[in-house]
Amino acid sequence: MPPLQQVPPEPSSPCEWIDTEVRVRYAETDQMGIAYYANYLVWFEVGRGEFCRQRGFVYRDFEKENEAHLAVAEAQCRYHSSAHYDDVLIIRTRIQEFRKRTVRFEYEVLRKDDDALIATGWTLHVILDKKGKMKSFPPDYAHFLKSEVTQKA
């Protein structure tokens, strides 16, 4: 197995947020210029991918090296305010819970200009092998996430 990208950083707190910026594109809005609701799940994915990179691994490499996938089992998004065309949003991502076979990411979406809370949510992922069967999180990668929170059985 090739070496991983880097040693994971020590979190500054048990629930360290990783921030990622996105700009609302015209194609992501409805006729009123308001961000379409389904795009928030896409932005959660953008935040999750960057979270993993900053924690020390690339998801594509994780899939290839472990013949495994992090499948979304549940997703929740609560909308607090509207995002509009050309708004710069901060997608804040952190690990809410890490277990042997699941990981739950938590998200906050803020408008950069005024720090307004736009949305909050979470996604629950299960670790699956290539045949779609649940498996344990590979130890070579688990430490990149479980140092974030206390691991649960």
Q: Which of 30, 86, 129, 140 is catalytic?
A: 30
Q: Is residue 3 part of a domain?
A: no
Q: Is residue 81 part of a domain?
A: yes
Statement: residue 87 has pLDDT above 50: yes
State pTM to two decimals. 0.84
For residue 143, the SS3 value is: helix
pLDDT digits (tens, 9 = 90+) for 35-74: 999 999 999 999 999 999 998 888 888 889 888 999 999 9
- As a whole number, mean pLDDT of residues 111-119 equals 98
Q: Are 19 and 92 in contact (CB under 8 A)?
A: yes
Beta-strand pair 102-111/88-99:
antiparallel
Q: Is residue 2 part of a domain?
A: no
Average pLDDT of the chain, as a whole number: 87
Domain enclosing residue 74, as ranges: 18-147
Question: Count of domains in the chain?
Answer: 1
DSSP code for 57 = -
C-alpha span between 61 and 109 (Å, rounded) = 27
CATH of the domain at 48: 3.10.129.10
Q: Is residue 30 part of a domain?
A: yes
30 has catalytic annotation: yes
Q: Is 33 left (phi over 0), alpha (psi -120 to 50) or beta?
A: left
Q: Is residue 4 part of a domain?
A: no
